[in-house]
Amino acid sequence: MRLTMTRLQNVRARLRDEALGRGKNPRDVDLLLSDLVGKPVTYVIAHGELELDAAPLEAMLARRWAGEPLQYIRGHTEFYSREFLVDERVLIPRPDTEVLVETALDRAPRGARVVDIGTGSGCIAITLERERPDLRVLAIDRSIDALAVAAANRARLGSHIALAASDLLASTRGVFDLIVSNPPYIPRDEYDGLATEVRDHEPRIALTPGPRGTEIISRILGEALQRLARNGRVMLEIGYGQEDAVRALADEQGFDVETIVNDLAAIPRAVVLSAHGR
Ligand SMILES: C[S@@+](CC[C@H](N)C(=O)[O-])C[C@H]1O[C@@H](n2cnc3c(N)ncnc32)[C@H](O)[C@@H]1O
């Protein structure tokens, strides 16, 4: 096959214009170019004289124009300053979830036994263990596909977390000092109205647990009562507007809400719970 070489600055200008015309972010072009060239975006911007074959970039952009999330096309995304591999088998880690990670890092006692329920890409579990090597972290997911991605991230980030397939805590043993989870929490009606970029590409099992949105949160609390060590804590990410429902569930299921930490948009995001009387 013959390559057609073009100046980077010409390809870049043409495709950035096309992005704008399609209502997409022209920075997507720069990020994909930087992946192709294997250099930072600043290098791409400064080296318009380079010659390249535009065909691979155009193929990736065709996927982007068709609505596929940029992170899946690139095959990676940043979370808590580390690069995580991502594809359609896992939820794309969101910046909001860094609030849950910070909350856990601040509060986990030294040497704590931690379980991350619904680990997806492994972003929470691996970050906790890399930031706090004293923690003993088990990451579980019901999705075998997701666990394969978490295992790849564990290997590339030099992590030592344990991974297991489990429906919540059913296939695990022992007690935990910290049960952490970013569970699926979008009510089914809202799921149907999500942007197609999310609904048609990210795994449904990662997004919605049922009509109320709180089904998995309620099940986690039900199991946690038996599986928390003395002074143990449950830390959960919750969705927009879920604070009151989660407070009511916690009370019904024998938990005190100790703190709720807001995200950068001042939305209640990470809930810290302890079992009544412990
Ligand atoms: C919102 S995603 C969170 C992924 C990742 N922890 C993150 O924060 O980006 C929820 C995850 O929970 C998993 N999951 C859903 N139901 C589950 C269940 N009953 N038991 C274990 N994992 C479950 C999904 O497969 C998905 O990976």
Q: Which residues contact 192 (CB under 8 A, 6 or more apart)?
A: 199
Q: Measured in angstroms, how far is the CA atom of residue 118 from the centroid of ligand 1?
A: 3
Mean pLDDT over residues 122-146, rounded?
Answer: 98
Q: What is the pLDDT of residues 39-72, one digit of tens each?
A: 999 999 999 999 999 999 999 999 999 999 999 9
Q: Which residue from 182, 202, 204, 214 has its CB within 8 A of the most atoms of ligand 1, so it is best to mutate?
A: 182
CA of 276 to the centre of ligand 1 (A): 26
pTM across the whole model: 0.96
Which protein residue has the closest C-alpha to ligand 1 atom 8?
182
217 within ligand 1 shell (Cβ under 6 A): no
| pLDDT given for residue 3 in this prediction | 74
Nearest-atom index, ligand 1, CA of 79: 9
Atom of ligand 1 nearest to the CA of 143: 25
Residue 2 — pLDDT band, cuts 50, 70, 90? low
Residue 87 pLDDT: 98
Helical residues (DSSP H) of 1-69, grouped into ranges:
8-21, 27-37, 41-46, 55-65
Provide, rounded to the nearest whole percent, the portion of the chain with pLDDT above 70: 99
Give the mean pLDDT of the chain.
Answer: 96
Query: Per-residue pLDDT averaged across 15-21, rounded?
Result: 97
Question: At a CB cut-off of 8 Å and minimum separation 6, what does 193 contact?
Answer: none
**Beta carbon of 239 within 6 Å of any ligand 1 atom:** no
The answer on pLDDT for 156 being more than 70 is: yes
pLDDT at 4: 82
Indicate whether 278 pLDDT > 80: no
Residue 1 has pLDDT above 70, yes or no: no
In the predicted structure, residue 277 carries a pLDDT above the cut 90? no
Distance CA 131, CA 44 (A): 32
Q: How far is the CA of 257 from the centre of ligand 1 (A)?
A: 22
CB of 123 shorter than 6 A to ligand 1: yes
For 78-111, how does the pLDDT look when each residue is reduced to its tens digit (9 = 90+)? 999 999 999 999 999 999 999 999 999 999 999 9
